[in-house]
């Protein structure tokens, strides 16, 4: 297979949105990735680095944070030694990047990446932010699709060979300064996203700090900070979760049946084990439960507890707590969430199964106090949702920019 690419400027290879100073400039050119980069073959060896994984659309994360443990094992020394600014292609497919995801290492100064990743370093004469933008637009995916003939392997990775990956081409401006201008634009929107994300994290820390005062410290049955009308009320009562709730579980659901946005045909939220949007995976045509508490039973997020308002569907990695007496509310969900992680088993795949959840003992306030605390939590959650929406709108704006700042993909490999 040839990786030869036509590098002559193409008059019809033009972005939809262009800076004024480049309106009269010629078309862009297509350049093979093999001409823009150098493969990274250096192994970790005895270097003490953080073993990392890649989360599609988010970037590099430590294996511990993604899987709940370091899974590198005996293979660690054979991992690839990445340095800040290097790139890696994760051949695992996802809903957003079905042909795999490419990202640049920005989260760690150095890292140990699985040998299953295809790692490479950009040549100095091109801007890394500009190149990353092309990958976020998924220009590699539309080209790699033709090589994926038999789906994923038994280990979940796509059948993409390094030579196939490096044969893809990227659209490059003929004027180097145009590349820099686009990179600057993307950097600005990314800085905004980071700033608003920091505000979101600050609100989340504020919520956790408030909860630590409104709820009793571990081993106690009276909170440090109590609402005025309950200061003379009795101490909270310790009860096992199984004595208060009926415990059940969600059902298996194929994610292709789930839509990203609600509609008349699919109005019910679907919750899973993911962390983004508090586990919201999409929307479905049917529901299982109404006004209940769920928790993640399996995987890296085992023990995450959330209150679910209204009718909803949840997948088989969610346990469900139901109550006919009003105990299924945001206050109690937050109480259980504060202690559930301590009961997760980390032998193999992290788990918090129904039998263990039922035996967890939690201090419960009266229903009246629960309602007051729920009102406070809802106010904080409204602020969190508002800030989260700001971040999502910025991310959506960035996605729109990526579609317009880069030319539409044309298959001109020869």
pLDDT for position 150: 54
7 lies in a domain?
A: no
Read off the pTM.
Answer: 0.77
15 domain residue, yes or no: no
Task: Please give the residue range of the domain that contains residue 285.
Answer: 237-364
Same domain, 164 and 251: no
Whole-angstrom Cα distance, residue 168 to residue 144? 7
Task: Spell out the per-residue pLDDT of the chain, length 414, in tens.
Answer: 344 455 566 667 899 999 999 998 889 999 999 999 999 999 999 999 999 998 887 789 999 888 888 888 889 999 999 999 999 999 988 888 889 999 999 999 999 999 999 999 998 889 999 999 999 999 999 899 888 765 555 456 788 899 999 999 999 999 889 999 999 999 999 999 999 999 999 999 999 999 999 999 988 999 999 999 999 999 999 999 999 999 999 999 998 999 999 999 999 999 998 777 778 999 999 999 999 999 999 988 899 999 999 999 999 999 999 999 999 999 999 999 999 999 999 988 899 999 999 999 999 999 999 999 999 999 999 999 999 999 999 999 999 999 999 998 765 443
Judge if 45 and 170 occupy the same domain.
Answer: yes
- Domain contains 9: no
Number of other residues whose CB lies within 10 A of the CB of residue 42: 12
Give the alpha-carbon dihedral of 118, 124, 126, 128, to 10 degrees: 50
Give a yes or no: residue 162 inside a domain.
yes
* 152 and 77 co-located in one domain: yes
Round to whole Å and give the CA distance between 249 and 225: 35
| 273 and 153 co-located in one domain | no
Tell me: do 34 and 110 sit in the same domain: yes
Tell whether 187 is covered by a domain.
Answer: no
Point out the domain boundary residue: 348, 364, 380.
364
If asked whether residues 167 and 241 sit together in one domain, one would say no
Structural domains of the chain, count: 2
Q: What is the CATH number of the domain that holds 80?
A: 3.90.220.20
For residue 258, tell me if it sits in a domain.
Answer: yes
Angle between the 367-405 and 128-136 helix axes, to the nearest 10 degrees?
110
Q: CA 296, 298, 300, 303 torsion: positive or negative?
A: positive
Looking at the fold, whether 42 and 143 belong to one and the same domain comes out as yes
- How far apart CA 178 and CA 19 sit, in angstroms, is 8
The CB density around residue 275, as the number of other CB atoms within 10 Å, is 13
Structure tokens at 137: 């637009």
Asked whether residue 122 falls in the same domain as residue 260, the answer is no
Task: State whether 142 and 40 are in the same domain.
Answer: yes
75 and 161, same domain (yes or no):
yes
294 bridge partner residues = 306, 320
Exposure b/e, 390-410, CB count within 10 A at least 16 = b = bbeebbeebeebbeebbbebe
C-alpha closest to that of 141 among 93, 97, 104, 96: 97
Question: Do residues 170 and 275 share a domain?
Answer: no
Mind spelling out the 3-state secondary structure of the chain? CCCCECCCCCCCCCCCCCCHHHCCCCCCEEEEHHHHEEECCCECCCCCCCEEEEECCCEEEEHHHHHCCCCCHHHHHHCEEEECCCEEEECECCCCCCCCEEEECCCCCEEEECCCCEEEEECCCCCHHHHHHHHHCCHHHHHHHHHCCCCECCCCEECCCHHHHHCCEEEECCCHHHHHHHHHHHHHHHHHHHHHHHHHHHHHHHHHHHHHHHCCCCCCCCCCCCCHHHCCCCCCEEEEHHHHCEEEECECCCHHHCECCCCCCCCEEEECCCCHHHHEEEEECCCCEEEEEEEECECCCCCCEEEEEEEEEEECCEEEEECCCCCCCHHHHHHHHHHHHHHCECCCCCECCHHHHHHCEEEECCHHHHHHHHHHHHHHHHHHHHHHHHHHHHHHHHHHHHHHHCCCCCCCEC
What is the structure's pLDDT at 414? 34
Residue 152's pLDDT is what?
Answer: 53
- Same domain, yes or no: 24 and 169: yes
Q: Within a domain: residue 210?
A: no
Select from 364, 385, 408 the last residue of a domain: 364
138 phi and psi, to 5 degrees? 70, 35
Q: Is residue 103 part of a domain?
A: yes
């Amino acid at each position: 297979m040839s990786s030869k690419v036509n590098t002559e400027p193409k008059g019809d290879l033009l972005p939809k949105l262009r800076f004024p100073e480049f309106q009269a400039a010629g078309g862009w050119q297509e350049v093979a990735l093999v001409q823009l980069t150098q493969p990274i073959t250096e192994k970790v060896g005895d270097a003490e680095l953080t073993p990392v994984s890649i989360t599609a659309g988010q970037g590099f994360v430590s294996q511990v944070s993604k899987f709940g443990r370091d899974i590198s094992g005996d293979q660690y020394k054979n991992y690839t030694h990445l340095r800040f600014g290097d790139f890696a292609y994760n051949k695992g497919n996802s809903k957003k990047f079905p042909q795999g995801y490419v990202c640049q290492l920005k989260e760690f100064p150095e890292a140990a990446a699985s040998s299953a990743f295809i790692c490479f370093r950009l040549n100095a004469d091109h801007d890394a932010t500009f190149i990353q933008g092309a990958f976020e637009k998924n220009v590699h995916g539309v080209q790699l699709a033709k090589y994926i003939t038999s789906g994923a392997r038994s280990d979940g990775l796509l059948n993409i060979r390094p030579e196939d990956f490096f044969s893809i081409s990227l659209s490059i401006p003929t004027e180097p300064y145009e590349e820099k201008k686009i990179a600057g634009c993307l950097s600005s929107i990314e800085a905004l996203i980071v700033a608003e994300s920091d505000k979101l994290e600050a609100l989340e820390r504020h919520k956790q700090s408030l909860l630590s005062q409104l709820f009793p410290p571990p081993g106690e049955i009276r909170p440090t900070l109590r609402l005025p009308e309950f200061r003379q009320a009795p101490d909270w009562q310790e009860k096992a979760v199984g004595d208060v709730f009926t415990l059940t579980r969600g059902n298996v659901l194929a994610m292709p049946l789930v839509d990203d946005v609600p509609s008349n045909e699919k109005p019910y939220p679907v919750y899973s084990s993911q962390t983004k949007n508090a586990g919201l995976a999409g929307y479905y045509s049917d529901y299982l439960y109404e006004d209940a508490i769920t928790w993640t039973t399996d995987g890296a997020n085992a023990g995450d507890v959330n209150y679910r308002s209204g009718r909803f569907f949840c997948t088989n990695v969610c346990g469900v707590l139901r109550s006919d007496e009003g105990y299924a509310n945001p206050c109690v969900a937050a109480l259980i969430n504060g202690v559930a992680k301590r009961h997760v088993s980390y032998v193999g795949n992290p788990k918090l199964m129904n039998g263990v959840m039922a035996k967890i003992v939690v201090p419960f306030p009266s229903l009246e106090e629960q309602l007051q605390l729920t009102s406070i939590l809802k106010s904080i959650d409204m602020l969190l949702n508002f800030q989260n929406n700001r971040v999502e709108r910025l991310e959506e704006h960035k996605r729109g920019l990526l579609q317009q700042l880069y030319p539409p993909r044309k298959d001109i490999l020869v």
